[in-house]
Amino acid sequence: MGKSESDIEIRSLSRSFSLPDDPHPWSTALMYVLVGVLVGIVMVKGQIISWLKVQEMFMLKSMQLPLTFGSAILVAFISIVIIQQRKIKTLEGKDIYFPRYKVTKGNYIGGVIAGVGWSLTGGGPAALFAMSGTGAVVMGVALLMAMVGTWMFGAVRDSLP
Amino acid sequence: MHFWNHPWPWYIAGPLLGLTVPLLLLIGNKPFGASAIFRHLCAIVIQKKEWKYFKYDWSKESWNFYFIGGIVLGGAIAATLIPNLGELKLHPYLVDLYHGLGINDFSQGVPKQIFNMEGLRNVEGIVFVLAGGFMVGFGSRYAGGDNSGHMILGVARLNKPSIITTACFFVGGYIGAHYIVPFILKVV
């Protein structure tokens, strides 16, 4: 395997992952859908998907979105601390654990590229999905391009730093 | 204007967004993030054996499909039932900047004059939608996560790659908003 795993979103690839995931009963699948619905609604109502608000943030003219993200990070941080301190388990009784990842050059380069993309489209992938949901069909095209981007990345990955 | 048609302040939207992290962890130890879905979709379609990036068991990550589907649904629900109505409050500096560049439709969160299907035939549309979308996909996957995964979950975890990636997101966004967006809008 050429590169060590840096994809923080795919747990089944993480080295410390040993338990296979059971196929989801429909109740669990529904819960994932509901959390997604929450994300979608919050992104629309919180103007996180607003291209204009995103420009405001990157032009340093408004603290609204930074405060939104900052408070999200804070809430996430506190909840993770609580989960770790009380050793809370998942609904299925499995452990909640957090793999550690190493810094890669991709973090730097990919981060800047994705940042530019964010300023151009008005959102990261989650926001693009929410925008498509609101009916902005053109954002579906942006999503297709993101797929192309992923595909290209997969193709050229070994020749990148 | 009805109560539900106002946008939410940061202290409501932010914490609710942050709650997604523990919710996903509690349901099934899943990390918050929205860019892996692209990898899964490519992996389903691409069967070439040389592209190791797409050779993994994506069926183990089926939760992602439900989650992303939920996001799309949530966007639809919010836009139909409780949309943000009324003029978007934008900083005067930007209002002037965009007026000067020919954009004055601020009624939606997204400037309709750029973002519409016909606009894809112009340079603006091509750059913002096509190139922008490409960069979001390529960049997020290269960085190993997107601005939900790295920025919200990763920084909350005090994960060093995530902090670096988030800083780079903002560097990229700063460059994009300061130089690329006005440049494209001026040139076209």
pLDDT digits (tens, 9 = 90+) for B98-122: 888 777 666 566 776 667 776 667 7
CB A111 within 8 A of CB B162: no
Q: Are residues B99 and B43 in the same domain?
A: no
Lowest mean pLDDT among A13-22, A59-68, A123-132: A13-22
Tell how many helices (H) and how many strands (E) occur in chain B: 9, 0
Residue A100 confidence (pLDDT): 86
Does B78 contact A at CB distance below 8 Å? yes
φ/ψ of B9, rounded to 5, equals -70, 165
Band the pLDDT of B43: cuts 50, 70, 90. confident
Does B180 contact A at CB distance below 8 Å? yes
Q: Are residues B96 and B186 in the same domain?
A: yes
Summarize the confidence of residues B81-93 as an average pLDDT.
85
CB B84 within 8 A of CB B6: yes
Among B17, B51, B86, the domain-final residue is: B86
Among B60, B86, B112, the domain-final residue is: B86
CA distances from B172 to A3, A18, A92, B13, B45 (A): 25, 36, 40, 24, 30
Buried b (16+ CB within 10 A) or exposed e, A91-122: eeeeebebeebebbebbbbbbbbbbbbbbbbb
Q: Are residues B63 and B128 in the same domain?
A: no
Q: Are residues B50 and B104 in the same domain?
A: no
Which residues in A lie closer than 8 A to residue B21 (C-beta atoms)? 75-76, 79-80
Residue range A18-53, pLDDT digits in tens: 445 556 678 888 999 999 999 999 999 999 998 889
Query: Which structural domain, as residue segments, surrounds residue B142?
Result: 90-188
DSSP designation for B7: P
DSSP H/E element including B164: helix B160-175
CB A107 within 8 A of CB B49: no
Looking at the 3D structure of chain B, how many domains does it have?
2
Using a pLDDT cut of 90, give the percent of chain A over it: 54
Q: Are residues B104 and B142 in the same domain?
A: yes
Alpha carbon distance A37, A35 (integer Å): 5
Q: Are residues B185 and B142 in the same domain?
A: yes
Does B85 contact A at CB distance below 8 Å? no
Q: With 90 as the cut, is the pLDDT of residue A63 above it?
A: yes
Q: Are residues B74 and B8 in the same domain?
A: yes
Radius of gyration of chain B (CA): 19
Q: Are residues B186 and B96 in the same domain?
A: yes
Q: Least CB-CB distance to B120: which of A38, A108, A141?
A: A141
Asked if A45 and B18 come within 8 Å (Cβ–Cβ), the reply is: no
Q: Are residues B103 and B76 in the same domain?
A: no
Alpha carbon distance B132, B129 (integer Å): 5
Residue range A76-91, pLDDT digits in tens: 999 999 999 998 888 8
Cα torsion through A130, A134, A135, A139, rounded to 10:
-30
Q: Are residues B160 and B172 in the same domain?
A: yes
Q: With 60 as the cut, is the pLDDT of residue B156 above it?
A: yes
SS3 (DSSP) at B48: coil
Does B182 contact A at CB distance below 8 Å? no
| Tokens of residue A46, six digits | 């919180």
Among B86, B117, B136, the domain-final residue is: B86
CA distances from B55 to A30, B1, B42, B129, B143 (A): 28, 52, 10, 29, 19
Q: Are residues B57 and B124 in the same domain?
A: no
CA distances from A81 to A84, B11, B21, B68 (A): 5, 20, 12, 26
Which segments within chain B are labelled E, that is strand?
none
| Tokens of residue B126, six digits | 């091509």
Closest residue of chain B to A24, computed from CA coordinates? B63
Residue B2 confidence (pLDDT): 79
Q: At what angle do helices A105-121 and B160-175 cross, to 10 degrees?
A: 40
Residues 6 or more apart from B70 whose CB is under 8 A from it? A32, A33, A34, A35, A36, A37, A38, A39, A40
Query: ipTM of the assembly?
Result: 0.91
Q: Are residues B108 and B160 in the same domain?
A: yes
| Tokens of residue B38, six digits | 């692209």
More confident site: B112 or A105: A105
CB B153 within 8 A of CB A97: no
Asked if A129 and B23 come within 8 Å (Cβ–Cβ), the reply is: no
pTM for this prediction: 0.90
